[in-house]
Chain A
Amino acid sequence: MLTTLKTDYPVDTGAVVLTIKIGEGQLGTSVVRLGETQLDIGEIDVLEIGQGPDLAGQVLFIKTVVADVNDNTNHTSVSYELQGGKADKVFNLDGTADEEGGSVVYRASFSLKS
């Protein structure tokens, strides 16, 4: 199981869009930063990060916290979907709350490359 991710995402000429999906019936919130600039906080659904050429060389940082509000499982999962680059990609992370009603914090950073 992985709760941190550091990877590259090749951008293209179009706009890059981010969607974050919280699975397992749990409740989660995310903050999205591009460099030092906070782009959004809350539920992230089809968030335009910027145009590919403008993003090249920057780092997209996402922090997500997921609360275990499902008493059937302590599993949590987050899917980061990036679209508009050279290829659309989905990055899946998983974590298990260490106690009933606990929470899991995820951190992902994407180096946006041309």
Chain B
Amino acid sequence: MNVRRFIALVLLCGASRLSAQVDTLRAFRAPASPAFVLIDAAPTAIARPSTPQRLVMSLVSALQDEDFPPKRYALEIAPYWLTRHRTLTFEQYAAPAFWQSIIQTLSLSVATTNIPKPDTGTVLAFGVRTAYVSSRDLSWLRPLRDTILQIQRKILETDDQAIEDSLRAEMRPVNLRLQRALRTERTGWTIEGAAAGAMDFQGDIASNGKVSRVGLWVTTGYRLSKPNADLLAVVRLTRDDRVAPRQDFLDLGGRLVLDKEDLTLSGEYVYRSITSAGSSRPSDRLTAAVEYRVSTDILLTAALGRGADERGPDTGPLIAQIGVDFGLGAIPLIRTGGGR
């Protein structure tokens, strides 16, 4: 293909954001609800009681279910937020000390589902998750905080209910923006940990209960604001006792993303080991991607790497893609894979 035809093809088609394909670590990160993830439950309704009274009501309702034990029950609670915290200031919440961070991010998840046919019975899973954020610096929130405080002053200065309502409506998107910033834009270290265990009750008989799966996740990240950089490392350990011999999975990975104006560089390494009956099968994947934003809607991307099937310098399949994203869809322009 000559250069002109290649450029024409690039401009006529669309391409996906290739960096997304260099983000396989997402699946190994500490999940928000480890109990659901461990048993692959995708509950349609999750009870998230926000008060002790609602928690009791949810449990009573589940126990009164026609099916006992309840099937497809999902509960997620943040114990710390079930009660009032009149002395908890914004600063203590947004830049918490170690124990405050642990307790305010602690969440418990419970899920039940059916044991896959032809067997009958119930799978019951428990999970726990918490996180620690190291940064005490809130100066990066100053612009949002000042905007909120300015609107609040205007609310305080008026006695007109209509103006007050209008100002409160004006403030809401800023409040939500601050909530989102606290979730996603922190700098410094963060560590998230999660654990879950599942028990199978064959025939719904309590004495048949045995541990079938166990999972442990640790995710740690470091974010710099200048230069704009994200470092992420993940560990996931899972054990599956449902098969004989038992299988142990170990997933390790790291990801680095650097942003410089319109240019983004990212690299990722993932290692997986499956151990069964004393023997291990390791595999790994190394990928790197470059993105360059030509304009608001046009993104040039390229990715290169070695696949997960084989190890060694001469056996790994090559992953190589280049493309352009018009913001219209996800169609890779060029893809080579499956060996050199």
Chain B contact residues: over half helix, strand or loop, or mixed?
A: helix
A residues near B178, Cβ cutoff 8 Å: 27, 69
Q: Is the CB of A25 within 8 A of B89?
A: yes
A residues near B182, Cβ cutoff 8 Å: 69, 71
Within 8 A of A (CB), among B309-330: none
CB of B67 closer than 8 Å to a CB of A: no
Chain A contact residues: over half helix, strand or loop, or mixed?
A: strand
Residues of B in contact (CB 8 Å), total 34
Task: Mark each residue of chain A from 7 to 30: 1 if its CB lies under 8 Å from any CB of chain B, else 0.
Answer: 000000000000001111111111
Of chain A, the residue at the smallest CB distance from B164 is A105
Within 8 A of B (CB), among A18-64: 21-31, 41-42, 63-64
Give the total number of A-B pairs whose CB atoms are below 8 A apart: 101
CB of B176 closer than 8 Å to a CB of A: yes
* Interchain CB contact (< 8 A) of A77 among B81, B86, B104, B155: B86
A residues near B152, Cβ cutoff 8 Å: 27-29, 65, 67
Docked Cα-Cα span, A100 to B171, in Å, equals 12
Min C-beta distance of A93 to chain B, whole Å:
10
Q: Is the CB of B156 within 8 A of A27?
A: no
A residues near B88, Cβ cutoff 8 Å: 23-25
Docked Cα-Cα span, A23 to B168, in Å, equals 19
B residues near A92, Cβ cutoff 8 Å: 86
CB of B175 closer than 8 Å to a CB of A: yes
Q: Is the CB of B168 within 8 A of A103?
A: yes
Within 8 A of A (CB), among B75-94: 78, 80-81, 84-90, 92-94
Q: Contacts A23-B88, A72-B81, A102-B168: A31 and B156 contacting too (C-beta < 8 A)?
A: yes
A residues near B164, Cβ cutoff 8 Å: 105
Give 5 closest A-B pairs by Cβ, nearest first.
A25-B93, A23-B86, A101-B176, A29-B152, A101-B175
Footprint of A on B, CB under 8 Å? 50, 78, 80-81, 84-90, 92-94, 104, 145, 148-149, 152-153, 155-157, 164, 168, 171-173, 175-176, 178-179, 182-183
What are 29 of the A-B contact pairs (CB < 8 Å)? A21-B87, A21-B89, A22-B89, A23-B89, A24-B86, A24-B93, A25-B88, A25-B90, A25-B93, A27-B90, A27-B145, A27-B148, A41-B157, A64-B156, A65-B168, A69-B178, A70-B179, A71-B182, A72-B78, A77-B86, A99-B172, A101-B172, A101-B173, A101-B176, A101-B179, A102-B168, A103-B171, A103-B175, A105-B164
